[in-house]
Amino acid sequence: MDPINFVILASILFAIGAAAVLLRRNAIIAFMGVELMLNAANLALVAFSRMHGEIDGQIMAFFVLTVAAAEVVVGLGIIIAVFRARQTISLDEPAELKG
């Protein structure tokens, strides 16, 4: 089977991740959607790496992994800060900035 199918799979996962951001009000779930998008990108990278017969894609995925981890830390930090202030992590709740 052609590894390109993994790219298709990655695209679907990417769309699901994006949908999570568009639809979910729970900050953590939305954030997990973003994580899924990053992982989908990783899958695509690895699949392309396989198709090109080179390792670069994998290396990139490796970096993304690291960056994503760091991002998770910061993101969760912010979410916790928001939770401490408001006792909720619903994204509907803080909507004073608008207009």
Partner 1 sequence: MLDLTWLLIAVPLASAAFLLLAGKRADRWGHWVGVGASSAAFVVGLVALIQMLGLDSEDRAHAVHLFTWIPGGELNLDAGLLVDPLSMTFVMLVTFVGTLIHVYSVAYMEHDASRRRFFAYLNLFVAAMLLLVLADSYLLLFVGWEGVGLASYLLIGFWNHKPEYATAANKAFVVNRIGDIGLILAMGLMFTYFGALDFGSVFAAVPQASTAQLTAIGLMLLVAACGKSAQFPLQSWLGDAMAGPTPVSALIHAATMVTAGVYLIVRSAPIFEGAPAAQTTVAAIGAFTLILGALIGMAKDDIKKALAASTMSQIGYMMLAAGLGPVGYAFAIFHLVTHGFFKAGMFLGAGSVMHGMNDQVDMRRFGALRTAMVTTWVTFGLGWLAILGVPPFSGFWSKDKIIEAAFIGDDVQPWILGGAALIGAGLTAFYMSRLFFMTFHGKARWTDEQHPHESPALMTVPMIILAVGSAFLGLILATGDRFVTWLEPVTGHAEHGEPVLPAAVIMVATLLLVALGAWIAWRKYGAADVPETAPAASLATIAARNDMFQDSVNRGVFERPGTHLTRTLVYADAALVDGAVDATAHAFARTGEVTRKTQNGQVRSYALTMVVGLVIVILVVVQGGL
Partner 2 sequence: MVNTVMFWIIAALTVIPALSLLFARKAVHVAMSVVLVMVGLAAAYVTLSAPFLGMVQIVVYTGAVMMLFLFVLMLVGVDQREDLKETIKGQRWIGLLAAAGLGAFLVSIIGRVTLPTADTMPSGDPEAVAIALFDRYVLVIEVLGFVLITAAVGALVLTHTPRLRPRKTQLEVQRDRVRVGADPVNKPMPGVYARHNALDVPALDPEGKPIEHSVSRVLEIRHQTQEGAEFRAALEDPSRKEGDR
Partner 3 sequence: MSFTTPEIAWAPLTPLLIVLGASAVAILVESFVRSPETRRRTQLVLSLVALVGAAGAAVVQWATLDGAGTVVLDGMLTVDRQSLAWQVLILVFGTLGTLLFASRTRAGEEAFTPLGASAPGSSDETLARRKGLQVTEVFPLALVAVGGMMLFTSVTDLIFLFVALEVFSLPLYVLVALARRRRFLSHEGALKYFLLGAFSSAILLFGAAFLYGATGSTSYAGVAAGISSSTGTDALILAGAVMVVVGLLFKIGAVPFHSWTPDAYQGAPTPVTAFMGAATKAAATAALLRVMYAALYGLNWELSWLFWVVAIASMLLGTVVALVQTELKRMLAYSSIAHAGFILVAFAGLPDTALSALPFYLASYGLATMGAFAVITQVRERSDEGTVLGEATRLGQWAGLGKRSPWLAGAMALFLLSFAGIPLTAGFVGKFVAFSAAISSGAWPLVLVAVIASAAAAFFYVRLIVLMFLTDVPEGQEDAIEIDYSPLARTVVAVTAVLVLLLGIVPGPVLSAFENAGVLLLGAGG
Q: What secondary structure letter does DSSP report for 97?
A: S
Letters for 16-45 (x = contact with partner 2 by CB under 8 A, - = none) are xxxxx-xxxxx-xx-xxx-xx--x--xx--
Contacted by 5, from partner 3, partner 1, partner 2, none: CB < 5 to 8 Å by type: partner 2
Measured on CA atoms in the order 77, 83, 88, 94, is the torsion positive or negative? Answer: negative
C-alpha span between 78 and 97 (Å, rounded): 17
Specify the residue for token string 């639809």.
23
Of the listed pieces 48-56, 71-79, 80-88, 89-97, which binds partner 1 according to CB under 8 A? 89-97
Residues that bind partner 1 (CB under 8 A): 18, 21-25, 30, 91-92, 95-99
